[in-house]
Amino acid sequence: MKVLITQPNYIPWRGYFYAINLADVFVVYDDVQYTRRDWRNRNLIKTPIGLQWLTIPVQTKGKYLQKINETAIADPRWAARHWKTLQLNYAKAPHFATLAPVFENLYRSMANQTLLTQVNLTFIAAICNLLHIKTPIVLSSQFELKGTKSEKLAHICKQLGATEYLSGKAAMEYLDVDLFSQLNISVTWLQYNHLPPYQQLYPPFEPHVTVLDLLFNEGNQAHLFI
């Protein structure tokens, strides 16, 4: 039983979905502190003049300790703006016209959503479907969490009956691997450098952009690149 636990990001890069696809259960870590200037509310796209951020404006003033699942969207106009930007920069992508109705409907449906987590979860689920990823998705807020950062993650894994925990290398700085070992749970550090390049507008190739870039360029073959 492989378990992935990670925070909900906005239209994440393809490595995020590669990790989901490896897991038997994907736990969205939604009840931890929201971090500013991070991937929760923004991601990168390619444009003819370089990389550009798409950022969902959120309410953070005076809310420094708020959780991700408590973070509210500050301006409902973000959805229309993001979709227009995607149209302008990906109209010439080979599969944009085919996928445009799917994402236009998503952006329209999310325009009045007040919570960032719900937007992210909606996009993640829709993208998983397009990539043929069937991994069940659950929320960390559904589990009993206690102790240190490592203990919380380990307790989630234990409650799920995990035998293997999938983690990004950034967690090497804090993760107590011995704690997982005591629970008979192995830790696997995710690697992404083997992911192959794909057809992309505006060279040179840039791997660390939103997965929408992959979908618009490769269409129903996109799953072959994760």
Q: Rounded to the nearest 10 degrees, what angle do helices 116-130 and 96-110 cross at?
A: 160
Q: Give the helix/strand (H/E) hosting 171.
A: none
Please state whether beta strands 164-167 and 25-28 pair in parallel, antiparallel, or not at all (unpaired): unpaired
Alpha-carbon distance of 51 to 31, in angstroms, equals: 30
Q: What is the pLDDT of residues 104-121, one digit of tens each?
A: 999 999 999 999 999 999
pTM of the model: 0.96
Residue at 133: amino acid letter: I
SS3 of residue 208 by DSSP = coil
Q: What is the pLDDT of residues 151-186, one digit of tens each?
A: 999 999 999 999 999 999 989 989 999 999 999 999
pLDDT interval class at 71 (50, 70, 90):
very high
Rounded percentage of the chain residues whose pLDDT exceeds 70: 100
Distance, CA of 3 to chain centre: 15
